[in-house]
A and B are shown apart, each in its own frame.
Chain A
Amino acid sequence: MDALLLMILTFFGYIIMYKVYGKFISKIIFKINKHAKVPSEEFEDGIDYVPTKKEVIFGHHFASIAGTGPIVGPAIAIIWGWLPAILWVFIGSLFIGAIHDFGTLIISMRNKGKSISEFTAKYINPRTKIFFFIIIFLELWIVISIFGLVIAVIFSMYPTSVLPVWFQIPIAMYLGVLIYKKGKNFALWSVIAVALMYITIVIGYYLPINMPSFLGMPATGVWTILLLIYAFIASVLPVTALLQPRDYINAYQLTIAMLLLVLGVIFSSIFGGMDLVAPAMQATPAQAPPLLPFLFITIACGAISGFHSLVSSGTSSKQVKNEGDSVFVGIGSMLTEGALATLVIIAVAAGIGLGYTNSAGQTLTGTGAWTARYASWAAAQGLTSKIAAFVDGAANMISSLGIPRGIAVGIMGVFVASFAGTTLDTATRIQRYVVSELCVDMKINIFKNRYFSTAVVVLTAMLLAFLSGADGKGALKLWPLFGAVNQTLAALALVVATIYLKGRGGLKWLATGIPAVFMIVITLWAAILNQTGFSDQNNILLQIINVVIIILVALIVIEGFVAFLNTTEQHEEPVSVGG
């Protein structure tokens, strides 16, 4: 029952803190004003700036930030025990994540809805704009490699998930044709598509697909190549062909999955005898990086993720109806993501104890089940075992609802793979934009060609994937790097927010300043430790990326500090009273 207790405590904690700390951040630190004029009103043009219901914005915002991140991170970090993981998720998401997401949303709203890269130029200096592009470039590069590996790993562990995941493509494409071209009934066909998707999961259970190794490449390597080819093709198609229908179908999947997980925790705790089997804490597991600082790098989304600052200053800030609504959007989404991460923690700390069958055919339960996956960092093929821990753990919990275990495994495996799959497409598109921006500035014009730049994006990602080993172990090497880049971005955003708050007077800036310093310290610390690790392994590419991260963090510290000292209290921005 301790798992159930954990979930109830955390959820209640979130609800209470949403009201208490949420009020503190919004009313006292950022002094939101329900009557202040917002960009959606002031620049309303029916195109970019459109006042929108907060629930709709929440839906978009949350779907953009939730995905594979809050699943993979906790699934790895549980190796240090459930207590540190849950404490970091809970405290981090409240005191760092929430104020980070909310802060960037509000600052963007108070700056005509401009993106964070632009108001960073305003609050620090114009040089810092390029930091964003470099950080995003690195982040997307790593994301495309890792998420490709994540899906490959799921395919190799759960051959029953192969068919349904690939089937999503024709289902989504046909749905797109029906809805966009033929104008069929939206609600009806969406539901049919989602139902069809779950049917294919059942079919997949009876038709597992195994990939043989090819030319000395492990099966995961073959899958990775196929997936990156998919990324290429998908990202050059018009958005109505595949991406847009896929994306909104995922929204249904996300809701259903979260619902199933919550119910699963309740039912399996009460009727299934589920208990926490992970240790409360183990600071130095075998071959693993130390808990400090790596816990904070491994769990990014779910606690604090720099990527969210882009989402906050993206469409959300241009659509929020008034500053009051931004609390629900900014803080609400972050805490909901924290809730999702909590559910993942429970799955890998308790759900897994309900047992699974390993590749040798043995059925493991209880603590033994947990240890087999988490005995050491790279145990059981690295990332593979960690993700498997989630899929198995979650499937166990859900099967207590009456769903056959094999199908439940399919549902969860497909869930993770769908989101990762959409990310492959979208990350490639954004990276294409980033690459051509960076190269056009340097007058390398061949990148204007869509196919060329996409090829470059996909090939570099493939390179990174294969240089790290194109398997679960390799992916595990890349994950802390991904975390470090993401947290660097978070640090930058928090520094900007701190400077903004300093300009508003008093000591409000401490609310973001302390988190900023914390993020800077752990990122640097982790990067330095990574550096020694990578140089020991003689991995040059990873070392280079790591060094770039260290330099960026240093530059952010210097530029930010200088700007901070130069910021004096300004008069409160005259709040123009709008409608």
Chain B
Amino acid sequence: MKNNPQYVFFIGKGGTGKSTVSALTALKLSHEQKILLVSMDPAHNQSDIFQTTLSDKPTEINKNLLVIEINTEKWIKNYLHEIEDSVRRNYLYLSAFNLEKNFNIIKNSPGLEEYALLLAFNKVREIYSTKDHIIFDMPPTALTTRFFSLPPLSLLWNNHLIKLRDEIIKKKELITKIKFNKKEYESDKVLKKLQQQQSFYTDVKNIFTDINTTSINLVLNPDKLSMEESKRIIEKFREINIQTDNIIINKSVDESLSTAIKEKFRDIKSKIFPLSKTPLIGIESLKSYLLNNNL
């Protein structure tokens, strides 16, 4: 039983034509369903493809299709600002002044880019929960893999920290009880935060691993390098319990070659997208491509 909305992710190496395939899929589905296309790729090809400026506010392409663009840098900045403000509000002893300087370097910390995408993903699904499909044009493989690995990885740390925190709280309670003969139930803010984190990551992890909600589509080109890399990506995803639903063999020229590739990935559904004779820029050329290729 498929759930609404469904999240459709297009992943793949840079240059394989993810953005175009996402746009085509979005357009095709929008004939009958309400679609949101989200560009998560910093290269932001969608604005070129649709020949219109895009932003984080939805642009209407047709009555069923909206497109937005996620600006990762902005998300990181906002997140850090939020943290900085909370710290300034809560810290009494350590002067916030010193922390300012530290925050400037933190914004370059590895791990924040994929977290920003995760936050954006969460916000998008909250706001656009009435859509039938939300299609995500993902960044190149490296960042995308980190994006999907972040929930389980964070949960590892999170679970460990919660266990440690629980131990600490239990000991504190015991000491207070015996030394001062009173039961102090001081709510531990850090634990609360850790628990919030835990539900966030668990929710997202469950969404990603639920095949009724999430569909992962791997775009590749019909050459050896592309194939080898794709095999590795599928394996990596399997390790974090995420199933690849479809393989799109894009820019196909030689039909027999493409069919042979289909064979190689026979346990996954695949589709062949032939190479377009004309550049796929603008809605009209997208529409005619769909028509010409019976997609």
Contacts and interface: CB of A to CB of B under 8 A. Distances in A.
* Chains A and B bind each other: yes
Interface of A: 179-180, 183, 186
A180 B174 contact: yes
B263 to A, nearest CB: 51
A186 B174 CA distance: 12
A183 B174 CA distance: 8
B178 interface: yes
Interface residues of B, number: 4
B168 to A, nearest CB: 11
Contacts of B174: 180
Interface in B176-197: 177-178, 181
A348 B129 CA distance: 89
A546 to B, nearest CB: 44
A22 to B, nearest CB: 30
> Do most interface residues of chain B lie in helix, strand or loop, or is the interface mixed?
helix
Contacts of B181: 186
Interface of B: 174, 177-178, 181
B222 to A, nearest CB: 52
A351 B178 CA distance: 41
Nearest to A180: B174
Contacts of B178: 179-180, 186
A294 to B, nearest CB: 45
Contacts of A180: 174, 178
Nearest to B179: A186
Nearest to B174: A180
A179 B175 CA distance: 11
Contacts of B177: 183
A218 B99 CA distance: 69
Nearest to A187: B181
B142 to A, nearest CB: 35
A183 B177 CA distance: 8
Nearest to B177: A183
6 contacts: A179-B178, A180-B174, A180-B178, A183-B177, A186-B178, A186-B181
Nearest to A185: B181
Contacts of A186: 178, 181
The list of the 6 closest CB pairs from A to B, nearest first, reads A186-B178, A180-B174, A183-B177, A179-B178, A186-B181, A180-B178
Nearest to B181: A186
A180 B181 CA distance: 12
A180 B174 CA distance: 7
Nearest to A240: B174
Contacts of A183: 177
A399 to B, nearest CB: 37
A180 B177 CA distance: 9
Contacts of A179: 178
B247 to A, nearest CB: 47
A179 B178 CA distance: 8
A179 B179 CA distance: 11
A119 B174 CA distance: 34
A179 B181 CA distance: 11
Nearest to A183: B177
A272 to B, nearest CB: 42
Nearest to B183: A183
B294 to A, nearest CB: 66
A183 B181 CA distance: 10
A459 B178 CA distance: 37
A172 to B, nearest CB: 15
B76 to A, nearest CB: 33
B92 to A, nearest CB: 14
Nearest to B173: A183
B188 to A, nearest CB: 14
B183 to A, nearest CB: 9
A265 to B, nearest CB: 36
Nearest to A181: B174
A138 B177 CA distance: 39
A180 B178 CA distance: 8
B180 to A, nearest CB: 11
A189 B89 CA distance: 46
A390 to B, nearest CB: 34
A246 to B, nearest CB: 16
A144 to B, nearest CB: 29
A59 to B, nearest CB: 13
A186 B177 CA distance: 10
A180 B170 CA distance: 11
